[in-house]
Structure 1
């Protein structure tokens, strides 16, 4: 398994480059067909580069900058260095698709360098806060093979190290549905350890946890978890990741869609604020649902 990394790598460089080269082409008022013709490229090649589907070479980025009229040596060299970084290994590229989907791997790669991560989770404890026993029992409940269970748990612990132990690390702003905190995964002991872990995380200044009780009522995205990554970089647009029973998507260049979910998150956060604090509600859940012995529960 890959070792923990201190921040963003090739993932950020690829997203930043695809955004930058489209921005410079728009400033030069050139079409993709005109650029391809000038450089002797196919339109499909330029399209792949602008979509981030193919990494661009340093010589390729120099050719584009020259064509787009960029003459500042510092700007050109920064883009060349970015192109070199973009051709490096992805943080999680060695992970099997049986352990994590392509969309999930891209999310994990990008989140290591986000400035703020917003997340709404309706069903289970978010992966960044799962204990090892909780993660293992959750994977078992999903009827995964022993190899998949081991791989997923190991990946989850690595992901936590990459994000939570990085300096600086992202600010985390999470909303959890009541059901995610009440759903029993494993034994009472597993749940008590998990809830205690959440209570400790909730004390950290750069982590904001809110609970949305069932009493808060219905809302447009019940059942669909979503994550918004916000970056401290003008060339890295906000990224939206959605996951549900029949959906898993990652959207990087859809500002209207991202804005819709930002507004939804703000609305859910406002609703959650009408109830007692996260820690107070979690203490009640812990006491009422999981503090009894297994024999008493049975």
Structure 2
């Protein structure tokens, strides 16, 4: 049995499937229209399968493998098994009322990635948020009490699945200055959050950098992006998040490469300033260590 579910779950199986069937189709030189006609399917059905918006049944997978001239019975059996696993409950399906399919997929891939590159301009990334920071952030978004607690529960589960895994990925994160200096909750909440980041920065497989506002403008200033790199034959995958867009995944090599280059450029900009630890220490001292004004 193919070990797909262990680490990444059905989310990883779904991404792997849609990548595989697109690669197979390209390998035999068929367009989506040609392949759909050969199978007696509508083009929209094949499109949904290749985009991952519809599940692939084992019988559909066998039909695709036959059309794409895969004759090795072991390979066919493996792909059929992955199709079965992709139809199982995802790791975060219990949170489908508060997490989109794309966001569940992102969280699933975190568990299977070898390296994660992330730029987050506005808030502390979910993987690094303390419980109080996460709760106050959700409260600021004007969510109801029950939804807030479910958001926090999901975030803590996500952190445990990634950060406490013996095979956790290497994490390379660049945080915009607003992410570190924007007050979420009380000064006490922020000091705890910043202290937590400093502890994480000491770990050998976590690299944290801060991009100051003084570094100037750049592409994607208001958009967070994440690049996943895998050990498997899965290509690098890009996720975009922002106030003006929903979470979307892109596995087009040219787009991934553009963002890899941008990440490197942002890292160079950050390196022109004091170290992450020094920047955080300054923010702690001058923004959150003074007594707070009493509220009415």
**TM-score normalised by structure 1 residue count:** 0.90
Structure 1, unaligned stretches of length 5 or more?
none
Alignment of 1:153-164 (within 5 A): 153-164=152-163
Task: Tell me the residue number matched to 1:20.
Answer: 20
Task: Tell me the residue number matched to 2:41.
Answer: 41
Alignment of 1:174-185 (within 5 A): 174-185=173-184
Q: CA RMSD in A?
A: 2.1
Q: CA deviation at 1:25?
A: 2.1
1:124-144 CA distance string (max 9 Å, x none): 111110100111111112221
Q: 287-296 or 15-24, which moves further after superposition?
A: 287-296
Once residues 6 and 207 of structure 2 are traced to their aligned partners in structure 1, the CA distance between those partners, rounded to angstroms, is 22
Once residues 240 and 31 of structure 1 are traced to their aligned partners in structure 2, the CA distance between those partners, rounded to angstroms, is 24
Is 1:77 the counterpart of 2:77 in the alignment?
A: yes
Task: Tell me the residue number matched to 2:146.
Answer: 147
* Superposition misfits of 4+ residues, deviation over 6 angstroms: none
Q: 16-25 or 286-295, which moves further after superposition?
A: 286-295
Contact 1:225/1:242, CA 8 A, preserved across alignment: yes
Q: CA deviation at 1:212?
A: 0.9
1:29 is paired with a residue of what secondary structure?
coil
Once residues 173 and 62 of structure 2 are traced to their aligned partners in structure 1, the CA distance between those partners, rounded to angstroms, is 41
Is 1:59 the counterpart of 2:59 in the alignment?
A: yes
Task: Tell me the residue number matched to 2:268.
Answer: 270
Name the CA shift for 1:238/1:189 in 2 (closer, same or farther; >3 Å).
same
Structure 2, unaligned stretches of length 5 or more?
none
Q: 283-292 or 80-89, which moves further after superposition?
A: 283-292
Once residues 267 and 191 of structure 1 are traced to their aligned partners in structure 2, the CA distance between those partners, rounded to angstroms, is 29
Task: Tell me the residue number matched to 2:290.
Answer: 292
Once residues 258 and 251 of structure 1 are traced to their aligned partners in structure 2, the CA distance between those partners, rounded to angstroms, is 10
Is 1:240 the counterpart of 2:233 in the alignment?
A: no
Contact 1:239/1:250, CA 8 A, preserved across alignment: no
Task: Tell me the residue number matched to 1:188.
Answer: 187
Once residues 37 and 6 of structure 1 are traced to their aligned partners in structure 2, the CA distance between those partners, rounded to angstroms, is 36
Contact 2:110/2:228, CA 8 A, preserved across alignment: yes
1:176 is paired with a residue of what secondary structure?
strand
Name the CA shift for 1:143/1:53 in 2 (closer, same or farther; >3 Å).
closer
Q: CA deviation at 1:295?
A: 5.4
Once residues 243 and 47 of structure 1 are traced to their aligned partners in structure 2, the CA distance between those partners, rounded to angstroms, is 24
Alignment of 1:109-124 (within 5 A): 109-124=108-123
Q: 53-62 or 126-135, which moves further after superposition?
A: 53-62
Task: Tell me the residue number matched to 2:32.
Answer: 32
Contact 1:6/1:162, CA 8 A, preserved across alignment: no
Contact 1:139/1:149, CA 8 A, preserved across alignment: yes
Once residues 179 and 44 of structure 1 are traced to their aligned partners in structure 2, the CA distance between those partners, rounded to angstroms, is 43
Task: Tell me the residue number matched to 2:221.
Answer: 222
Once residues 31 and 294 of structure 2 are traced to their aligned partners in structure 1, the CA distance between those partners, rounded to angstroms, is 71
1:57-106 CA distance string (max 9 Å, x none): 22322232223222223222221221111111122222144x23333222
Q: 161-170 or 56-65, which moves further after superposition?
A: 56-65
Once residues 194 and 47 of structure 1 are traced to their aligned partners in structure 2, the CA distance between those partners, rounded to angstroms, is 43
1:94 is paired with a residue of what secondary structure?
helix
Is 1:280 the counterpart of 2:288 in the alignment?
A: no
Once residues 121 and 25 of structure 2 are traced to their aligned partners in structure 1, the CA distance between those partners, rounded to angstroms, is 41
Alignment of 1:82-97 (within 5 A): 82-97=82-97
Aligned length: 291
Once residues 103 and 87 of structure 1 are traced to their aligned partners in structure 2, the CA distance between those partners, rounded to angstroms, is 16
Once residues 222 and 289 of structure 1 are traced to their aligned partners in structure 2, the CA distance between those partners, rounded to angstroms, is 23
